[in-house]
Copies of this chain bind each other. A is one copy, B any other.
Amino acid sequence: MNSNGFWKTLADAIAATGTDSHVDRLIDMIGSSVPQDLVTVVRYSVTRKPEFIKHRRYSDEMAGRYLDTYYVFDPFYAYWRRERRPGIVPLNSLADDDAKRGRYIAEFLAQSEICDEVGVLLEDGEDWCLGIFLDRSTKMYRDDEIETLRNRFAVFAALHELDTRAQAPDFRRTDVPAVPGAAPVNASQASAALWPELSTRERELVDLILKGHPNATIATKLGIAAGTVKNHRARIYEKLDITTERELFLQVFQQYHIP
């Protein structure tokens, strides 16, 4: 099994949490879960251009070409902005309805001599996503390989989340949220000041709504059912005396005196 080597890389990755080599160790670990020919690491934002973080066994030239041109066609990028959901994303899972996918594969991947790709999308603060991409030159990823990554994904995410916490200035001993991987630690102060009439949970919802998440994503993030999210929304709207999400955005605009 390849798993023997894996434990070592995992231990190293845990040890590297909160240090500058965190991402490298993370790549080592994820990379040792399934074989791959090259690795690229990119940061996606909903509103900004992607950033190229690192690559291994990949050419600087192609990395540049990605940032110059091809990021627009990157279906993983589109996926993140649409879904805003971390996870294991195989190239072939990206919808056929995505017209950009064709050009990305036909041109960019072909030029990079890549035949298959799988993305490990990790939340990276704000609206960012840290995308770690494992690429193969000749053999497609098998289902069981994807399954392996899916099984381990919670570990990847937990490690990166821990690193994020370790980087934050207020990393202190506290109680973990009841639902693992779910609740955000503290609701943003902005919403608290703006809408004191809302409960803390409702403000959590508002924060996620204002970050642009649809109900399904919010439900996943909070570990609750989509129906519950709708219910929260209804009560929030009622309390704020509005009827649509738009008006919530308008209230923020008003607060910040935006035309």
- Decide if B151 touches A3 in the complex (CB within 8 Å): yes
Question: Which stretch (A13-21, A108-116, A132-140, A223-231) binds chain B?
Answer: A13-21
- Provide the residues of chain B in CB contact with A256, threshold 8 Å: 182, 185, 256, 258
- Decide if B81 touches A173 in the complex (CB within 8 Å): no
**Cα–Cα, bound, A8→B179 (Å):** 12
Among A136-167, those with CB < 8 Å from B are 151-155, 157-159, 161-162, 165-167
> Chain A contact residues (Cβ within 8 angstroms of B): what range?
35 or more
- Decide if A180 is an interface residue (CB 8 Å cutoff): yes
- Decide if B185 touches A17 in the complex (CB within 8 Å): no
- Decide if A190 touches B258 in the complex (CB within 8 Å): yes
A6–chain B nearest beta-carbon distance, Å: 9
- Provide the residues of chain B in CB contact with A241, threshold 8 Å: 72
A207–chain B nearest beta-carbon distance, Å: 9
- Decide if A243 is an interface residue (CB 8 Å cutoff): yes
- Decide if B246 touches A15 in the complex (CB within 8 Å): no
Number of copies: 2
- Provide the residues of chain B in CB contact with A172, threshold 8 Å: 18, 169, 171
- Decide if B47 touches A190 in the complex (CB within 8 Å): no
- Decide if A166 touches B171 in the complex (CB within 8 Å): yes
- Decide if A259 is an interface residue (CB 8 Å cutoff): yes
Known contacts A245-B246, A246-B245, A254-B47; A21 and B175 CB within 8 A of each other: yes
Quick one: which of A17, A157, A161, A247 has the most chain B CB within 10 A? A17
- Decide if A34 is an interface residue (CB 8 Å cutoff): no
Known contacts A11-B154, A154-B7; A254 and B48 CB within 8 A of each other: yes
- Decide if A46 is an interface residue (CB 8 Å cutoff): yes
- Decide if A152 touches B247 in the complex (CB within 8 Å): no
- Decide if A236 is an interface residue (CB 8 Å cutoff): no
- The 6 A-B pairs with the shortest beta carbon distances in the complex, nearest first, are A11-B154, A14-B158, A11-B158, A47-B254, A249-B249, A212-B246
**16 A-B residue contacts at CB 8 Å?**
A4-B151, A7-B151, A11-B181, A14-B159, A14-B162, A15-B158, A15-B162, A18-B165, A18-B172, A19-B175, A47-B254, A185-B258, A190-B259, A211-B250, A252-B253, A252-B258
